[in-house]
Structure formats: C-alpha cells, structure tokens
A and B are shown apart, each in its own frame.
Chain A
Amino acid sequence: NAGVTQTPKFQVLKTGQSMTLQCAQDMNHEYMSWYRQDPGMGLRLIHYSVGAGITDQGEVPNGYNVSRSTTEDFPLRLLSAAPSQTSVYFCAIRGSSTGELFFGEGSRLTVL
C-alpha cells in the first residue's frame, strides 16, 4: 500500500455529523478514486477523479462529496452522516501505464 495514505483509520460518528476522510498519494498519478466495502457487496465505486479539478460519480455517489484541488489529495466528505454509511472506505490510485489500482489501508467508519 506504499504511496497511498488514508486518515483516519477508524472513526465513530453520530447521525447527522459531518467529517472528511483524507487520501494523499506520493506517486504522482492522475487517477484517484474512493470505494466503499460492505459485507456481501464487494467494492463499490463512490467517486473518482482523473486529474486536478476533475471529478465524476461512481456507482454509489449519494451522500458523499469530493474535490480535487491538487494531484496529491482527494478528500471524501460526508456532510450529514447516516447509519447506512457505516463501512470500510478505500482510496485507490491508478497507474497510467499499467492500469493497476493501488489501494490505501482503509478507513473504518461507524455511524451510530
């Protein structure tokens, strides 16, 4: 998981609270993305970005906001957390030459 840093690793929120999951990379890749992982549901794409200033929706974007002001950072914002957003969140970057995704270690979020 070298090159992709996610913070925090664990977080507990109350319904309605807001928070930001941080993702930073030092591999200078243009493509960055956020997935959520739930039991029996696999990895579902939330949002992705192909470069600074460009973002797009994935499979399950509702309830999440993203922005991409720099190549290095791609934060994921929950404006009003809901219990359905309890999940493990992974940030992933994509190599432009190989297409391989490099994942962070994950952030476990619990919404009460």
Chain B
Amino acid sequence: GENVEQHPSTLSVQEGDSAVIKCTYSDSASNYFPWYKQELGKGPQLIIDIRSNVGEKKDQRIAVTLNKTAKHFSLHITETQPEDSAVYFCAASGEGRDDKIIFGKGTRLHILP
C-alpha cells in the first residue's frame, strides 16, 4: 500500500521568511497530492492540491511542486505570517472515488516574531 514520508516534523522560521515542507510517496499509481492545515483544536482543512498532470501550482503565498519521477512533492509558503503557525499534512491518493487518502505524519510550523 501507499506510504507517505514527511519532513521535517518541526520547522521554525522567522516571520517574513519562507518555509518548505517535503514529502515522498511510494505508490507510483498515486496521482493526487493534497496538503492540509490543522489549527489547534480543529479538523484539518485543505489548503492546496496538485494532480499528476502538472508540476507546480500556486495560490497566493502558497505553492506546491511535484516530481513524479522522483516521487516527491513539496509545499512552499512565502512571506510567512503568524497565522501560518499550524500543523501541515501532506497526503497521496488516486483520484478514483474508491481511492483512500494516506497522510504523512505532519509538520508543526512555528512562525517566530
């Protein structure tokens, strides 16, 4: 089955700097890669996703890149702000309605003032 590795487990960056979180996956059949943000006491929420037919996707300060050959994908947050402090999860899945979504272990991001 699919296995998703996520690094680092904890990341501290100065406010205004960039943050990068990296993930690798094992199943070459996976073609949908979402990223979720979890704030304290809440359920995770989707912030961006990418499908295997594109290599990069941007949404304001957030971008995701995908390298299918190497089976890794990354989340980039630029100009970090205090509200970016949260736990971030990467995940991998097929796109079929029956396909389960497998998550990495998460990265706790701290934005330092």
Contacts and interface: CB of A to CB of B under 8 A. Distances in A.
A101 interface: yes
A94 B6 CA distance: 22
A43 B44 contact: yes
Given A31-B97, A50-B98, A105-B43, A100 B49 contact: yes
Nearest to B1: A59
A41 B63 CA distance: 25
A99 B44 contact: no
Interface residues of A, number: 28
Contact of B97 (A40, A42, A96, A101): A96
Given A31-B97, A99-B95, A44 B103 contact: yes
Interface in B40-72: 41-46, 49
A31 B101 CA distance: 11
Contacts, number: 62
B93 A99 contact: yes
Question: Which of A33, A56, A99 is packed against the most chain B CB atoms within 10 Å?
Answer: A99
B9 A40 contact: yes
Contact of A58 (B6, B98, B100, B105): B100
Interface string B5-42: 01001000000000000000000000010101000011
Interface of A: 1, 4, 30-31, 33, 35, 40-45, 48, 50, 56, 58-59, 90, 92, 94, 96, 99-101, 103-106
